[in-house]
Amino acid sequence: MPRTFPQPQQEDLHDNGEGPADYDYDLFVIGAGSGGVRASRTAAGFGARVGICELPYSPISSESTGGIGGTCVLRGCVPKKILVYGSAFSGEFQDAREFGWNINGDITFDWKRLIANKTNEITRLNGVYRKLLTGSKVDMYEGGGKIVDPHTVEVQETDGKSKRFTTKRILVATGGRAVLLNIPGKELAITSDEGLSLEEFPKRVVIAGGGYIAVEFAGIYSGMGAKVDLFYRKPYPLTGFDEEMRAVVASNLEGRGIHCHPETNLKKLEKVAGGIKVTTDKDEVFEADAVMFATGRKPSTKNIGLESVGVELDQVGAIKVDEYSRTNVPSIWAIGDVTNRINLTPVALMEGTCFAKTEFAGTPMKPNYENVASAVFCQPPLSVVGLTEDQAVKEAKGDILVFSSSFNPMKNTISGRKEKTVMKLIVDADTDKVLGAAMVGPDAAEIIQGVAIALKCGATKAQFDATVGIHPTAAEELVTMRTPTRRVNPKGEVVKA
C-alpha cells in the first residue's frame, strides 16, 4: 500500500508530494555499499517500501561485479585492515627480542593462508549485509541498476533478464573505482582491488601514488617481507595532510624499509622474463612482481542512466548534489563517493542517515562535514581531526598557537626501535578553541577518535589542560602540552615561540 511520510519542514521540498501514488517503491537505491545499505535500512525503518540493487559479489570490482557491502567491506577498509594486522606482526617479532623473547628458528609468512582467511571473512560480511537488508524488509535485487526515467529503475539481472520498478525516489550510491595511470603497459598494473587478493605474494612491489592507499599498501607488503618502491609526484606523500606529519610519515616509511621516490612518476611498464620492468620519468629502471596504481579513485557514474534523465555531473564526473544530497532532478538523490564530498565510509553513512531522516521521518537533516576525523593506516598510523596548521592560518581570524610534541614511545625505549611518536594541537590564540589535532604513532586512530568528540564539542585548550591524563600512555601527551611550539600570524609568519 502506498503511504505518506511526515513532510520535512525545509524550503524547496524535493518532489515529496507529487506523482502517482501507485509506485512499486517509495525508494529505490542503486548500490548496496555502506551508504546505500544505511540509507535503505533507515528509510525502511521509518516504514518506507524500499528496493535496492547491487552487482554480483566478487572480491575484484568491474563493470559487472561488485557485491553487497561495497568497497569498504569487500575491497577496502576491512580487508585492508586485516592485511595491516597481518603485516604488523613482523615489527612485533623484531620488538619482542629486547623484551626477553628468544625467537629461534624460522618465522615464515603464509600469504595464501592470510588471503584465504581474509576472503572468508569478507564473504561472511557480504552475507551479514544481505541479512541486514532482508531483516530490515528491504527488497534486494542482484544486478546492475539503470535509471530509465525519473521514477523508473531497470535492474539487469545476471541471467540476462531485466525487471523494471517504479519508485517515488531514486538514490544513487554507486561509489567509485580506481583510476589507472595512462602510461604504456598500464594493463600490467593492478589496483588495490587485486592487491588484496593476489594469488602469489609479490616479493618486489612498485607502487605509484602517495595517497591513503599507496602508503597503506606500502606498509602491508613491506611488513610481510617484500621489497617496496613507492613513487609519488610531490616531495612528501599524503597531499592535504599536515605538512609536518607528512614528513614524519615519509621518514617512518623509510625507517620501515620502504624505498620512497619523491617527485618521481612512472613512465612505462613492460613484461619481462622475471616480472615487470618499470621505467620512471628519471629513466631509472626497476623490476617488480607487482606494480600497483594507487593514484586516486573516480566516481562510478557510467551505465546507470544518469545522462538519460539529465543528472548533472561536476568537472571530475561526480554527481552534483546540494546540502540535502539532492541532484538537479527532483526525484533523484546521491550519497557517498559517487558525489566526491569526503570519500570515507562514515561520511557516506552520515549522508545516508540524513537523507532517510529528511525524506521519511520529517526531520530535515544536513550532513555536517566539520571535524570529520580520519586515519591513514600506514605503520605506525597517522590520524587527524579538524584543521591542519596551514588551513588554520588561512581560516582563523587572528594568530594560531601550535603545540607539538615528538617523543620516543615507552615501548621503543626497550625494543630499540627508532621511531618517534609525534602529536600536534592547533589552537586559536584569541578564543583558545582547539582547531585541529594530529598524531603519528601507535594507536593514533584509536586516540584521535576520542579527541574528535572534544573538537566536536568545541573544546578549548584550557579544557584539554584541565583533563587529567591516563598514565603511562602516549595519549596523555595530548593533555600535557603546556608551552606553544610557535605562534603563527594570519600571514603564516612565526611571530613568537
Q: Which grid cell is 442?
A: 601507535
388 binds ligand NDP (CB under 6 A): no
Least distance between ligand NDP and beta carbon 18 (Å):
36
Nearest to ligand NDP of 193, 399 (CB atom):
193
Q: Does 376 bind ligand NDP (CB under 6 A)?
A: yes
Between the CA of residue 44 and those of 135, 359, 490, what are the distances in Å?
A: 10, 11, 49
**Does residue 297 belong to the site contacting ligand NDP (CB under 6 A)?**
yes
Nearer to ligand NDP, 132 or 179 (CB): 179
What minimum distance in Å lies between the beta carbon of 217 and ligand NDP? Answer: 9
212 is in an annotated binding site: yes
Question: Of 50 and 335, which CB lies nearer to ligand NDP in the complex structure?
Answer: 335
Instruction: Report how far apart, in Å, the C-alpha atoms of 313 and of each of 293, 302, 329, 342, 485 are.
Output: 25, 11, 12, 16, 44
Q: Phi/psi of residue 411, each to 5°? A: -60, -35
- Catalytic position from the list 14, 259, 261, 471: 471
* Residue 87 cell numbers, joined: 603485516
106 is in an annotated binding site: no
**Looking at 163, 186, 233, 298, which residue binds ligand NDP (CB under 6 A)?**
233
441 is in an annotated binding site: no
Give the phi and the psi of residue 169 in degrees, each rounded to 5: -130, 150
**What span, in angstroms and rounded, lies between the C-alpha atoms of 87 and 105?**
19
Task: Say whether residue 190 binds ligand NDP (CB under 6 A).
Answer: no
Q: Does 28 bind ligand NDP (CB under 6 A)?
A: no
Give the DSSP letter of residue 62: -
How far apart are CB 384 and ligand NDP at their closest, in Å? 11
**Residue 294 in the binding site for ligand NDP (CB under 6 A):** yes
Quick check: 82 binds ligand NDP (CB under 6 A)? no
Backbone phi and psi for residue 443, each to the nearest 5 degrees, phi listed first: 65, 20
Q: Are strands 400-407 and 486-488 parallel, antiparallel or unpaired?
A: antiparallel
Minimum distance from residue 195 beta carbon to ligand NDP (Å): 11
What is the identity of the amino acid at 279?
A: T
- Give the interface segment with ligand NDP, choosing from 95-103, 120-128, 226-234, 324-332 (CB under 6 A): 226-234
Known catalytic residue at 151: no
Report d(CA 375, CA 366) in Å as an integer. Answer: 24
Q: Which residue among 115, 230, 278, 375 contacts ligand NDP (CB under 6 A)? A: 375
Question: How many Å is the Cα radius of gyration of the chain?
Answer: 24
Q: Does 218 bind ligand NDP (CB under 6 A)?
A: no
Query: Residue 326 CB, nearest distance to ligand NDP (Å)?
Result: 23
Cβ of residue 121: shortest distance to ligand NDP, in angstroms?
18
Exposure string for 447-485, b = 16+ CB within 10 A, e = fewer? bbeebbebbeeebebeebeeeeeeeeebbebbbebeebb
Beta-carbon contacts of 453 under 8 Å, excluding residues fewer than 6 positions away, are: none
Give me 235's grid cell: 616531495
Residue 341 lies near ligand NDP (rule: CB under 6 A): no
The Cα–Cα gap between 88 and 91 comes to 6
Residue 265 touches ligand NDP, criterion: CB under 6 A: yes
Nearest to 202 by CA among 283, 121, 286: 286
- Closest CB to ligand NDP among residues 16, 280: 280
For residue 72, the minimal CB distance to ligand NDP (Å) is 9
Query: How many residues can be counted in the chain?
Result: 497
Binding of residue 298 to ligand NDP (CB under 6 A): no
> Which of 222, 327, 374, 415 is in the footprint of ligand NDP by CB under 6 A?
374
Q: Does 67 bind ligand NDP (CB under 6 A)?
A: no
Q: Three-class SS string for 287-319? A: EECEEEECCCEEECCCCCCHHHHCCCECCCCCE
Annotated binding site for FAD: 81, 145, 337
Q: Which residues bind ligand NDP (CB under 6 A)?
A: 181, 209-214, 216, 232-234, 239, 265, 294-297, 343-344, 374-377
Annotated binding site: 81, 145, 209-216, 296, 337
Task: Indicate which residues carry an active-site annotation.
Answer: 471
